[in-house]
Structure 1
Amino acid sequence: MKFRLLHLIRPALFAVPFLIFSCGEDEDPVDSEPNLVVVEEQFEVNAAYEDTDLLTLDILQSSGLGTRTQSEADICANTVVEHNEGAKKITIDFGAGCTSPKGVERKGKVILTYSGTNFLQPTTSIVTTFEGYEVNGIKIEGSRTLTNAGFNILTSSLILNVKIENGKLTWPDNSFAIYTSTQSRVLTLGSAGYQISITGTSSGKSREGVDYTALVTDPLIVDQECVRTGVFIPSAGKLDFVVQGITITADLGSGTCDKTVTVSYPGGSRELTMD
């Protein structure tokens, strides 16, 4: 059971894309459509954190903090991984830069500090920070804290708390986005696989300087069946965003494995397909 649990935690940590929209200052917010460039930006932001999540868990496994000792991490052969067990600290050093077997370009350092001796222990936490770290040319800053909040034997559910603080992504042109989030993720095991239920909030500022907040109003649902087909967008759930005083709702559907999102805002709605 422990091996299965830790194997299933990885998709549960995928950063769920928060769709952020904005209206121009001189436009009528009732008649204007959302700024879809900002939507694409937020998927890029979440993809960067998602890559870090997978890297973190794979390195923890190979460092003896999980149930496997072999590494599945997508890192370059010359990446230096230093594990200081006394300080409970792991440093992943990509040096001046390299490209992984799967084509991900990384440079700088990712630093993991942890409590406990095994991630499956309740209250165990992992804090990820960065030193000059870049992925595919985007610099990542801030901290991400992952906490095991317990396992419910009766429902076969693992509870994970995930928090991003002082998140900042900077692009090569020096434009940047600010991002923070607090989430609770419940991973439930069933006969047909797992299902993840996600609730929480986020806030930040886009590269265009637009402030926003986001709230999950109906839990976002991710099914193993969908993940197996490469669809990481939740198959159900709703998000409410407040941008410049305007509430925008993103409806991810009612259970179908697809990449469509219905966006509703004052004056209209639109269906989007996310690649």
Structure 2
Amino acid sequence: MKTIQSYLASVALATLVLLNFACSDDPNPIAGEPDLSLVEDEFVINSSFEDLDFLLLDVIQTSGLGLRTTQTTELCEGSSIDHDTATKTIIVDFGAGCTSSNGVTRKGKIILNYTGTNFLFPGASVTTTFQGYEVNGIKIEGTRSLTNAGIDLINSKVSLKVKITDGKITWPDNTFVTYTTDQTRLVSLASSGYEASVTGTASGTSRDNKSYTATIIDALIVKEDCVNTGVYVPSSGTMTYSYGTTTVGVDYGGGTCDKVIKITYPGGSKEITLD
């Protein structure tokens, strides 16, 4: 339920200028409110990877591997895409850094290794690794695999299995989180853009070294029209975060493209606006 526009989004993860955020001030905090910094870190992770997905969908299509019905890749000046069909490798190179028209600054390289000749074929996969890759000053490391788990041609939907191993996101102050996921993204394709329904789990350690698990309860919905306006926060869905003896619930709302979420914890709840 949203009563007040970063992922994830999770997953669900980044700004296209949302990687640095703050909570709205609460003049009347509820006594016993737990430390929510771990939950906030997860929003940065999700936004980072939503930004990555948005970019990779375009790169895959631009490279002739199929997936979406429109091409909107907008690499900033000085960046490049190198596609080696012999080794089935695509390297997206942002060099020392450049800023896209919507305000996202990226640097370093994204390296894609794929199987098959068209990502629309079940079983086809794309594995992503990084070399010095940063988005708005946030460094991303690890290995991310996308596997086509099935396609519904009648309804223009593709089911993608998503796994992140050895994930690590580092802030400019050198604090970092570690991150792994096992999720499914059901992507609906249309001429007007895509919509992703995300389910599954994630786990890792926070910037203050707290171990946690995150479970999606009701599918997180990420819409391209929201992403195009810089909103990487899911427009709807719910999930829980568990760390120590604390369990926190997060409600992303009822479908509006905004950055408002509701967090529920033992003894109270609060709304947070992600900036």
Q: TM-score range by the shorter chain?
A: 0.7 to 0.9
CA distance in 1, matches of 2:68, 2:219: 31
CA contact (8 A) 2:9 2:45 kept: no
The alpha-carbon deviation at position 70 of structure 1 amounts to 9.5
Within a 5 Å distance, the mapping from 1:168-183 to structure 2 comes to 168-183=168-183
The alpha-carbon deviation at position 150 of structure 1 amounts to 1.1
The alpha-carbon deviation at position 223 of structure 1 amounts to 5.9
The alpha-carbon deviation at position 214 of structure 1 amounts to 0.8
3-state SS of 1:59 partner: helix
The alpha-carbon deviation at position 273 of structure 1 amounts to 3.0
Structure 1 segments unaligned to the other structure (5+ residues)? 1-13, 20-29
Q: Which amino acid is the alignment partner of residue 65 of structure 2?
A: L
Q: Which amino acid is the alignment partner of residue 85 of structure 1?
A: T
Question: What is residue 90 of structure 2 aligned with on the other side?
Answer: 90
The alpha-carbon deviation at position 194 of structure 1 amounts to 6.9
Within a 5 Å distance, the mapping from 1:91-170 to structure 2 comes to 91-153=91-153, 156-170=156-170
Structure 2 segments unaligned to the other structure (5+ residues)? 1-6, 13-29
Task: State the number of aligned residues.
Answer: 251
Larger Rg: 1
Residue 77 of structure 2 is aligned to residue 41 of structure 1: no
Instruction: State the percentage of identical aligned residues.
Output: 51
Query: Relative to total residues, which structure has the larger helix share, 1 or 2?
Result: 1
Query: CA RMSD for the aligned pairs?
Result: 3.2
The alpha-carbon deviation at position 254 of structure 1 amounts to 4.7
CA distance in 2, matches of 1:43, 1:171: 13
Larger RCO: 1 or 2 (CA < 8 Å, sep 6+): 2
Worse-matched range after superposition: 253-262 or 264-273: 253-262
Within a 5 Å distance, the mapping from 1:58-73 to structure 2 comes to 58-66=58-66, 72-73=72-73
Residues 103 and 33 of structure 1, relative CA distance in 2, 3 Å threshold = same
Q: Which amino acid is the alignment partner of residue 112 of structure 1?
A: L
The alpha-carbon deviation at position 166 of structure 1 amounts to 0.9
Which of 5, 8, 17 aligns to 2:10? It is 17
3-state SS of 2:160 partner: strand
Residues 155 and 233 of structure 1, relative CA distance in 2, 3 Å threshold = same
Residues 123 and 222 of structure 1, relative CA distance in 2, 3 Å threshold = same
CA distance in 2, matches of 1:119, 1:49: 19
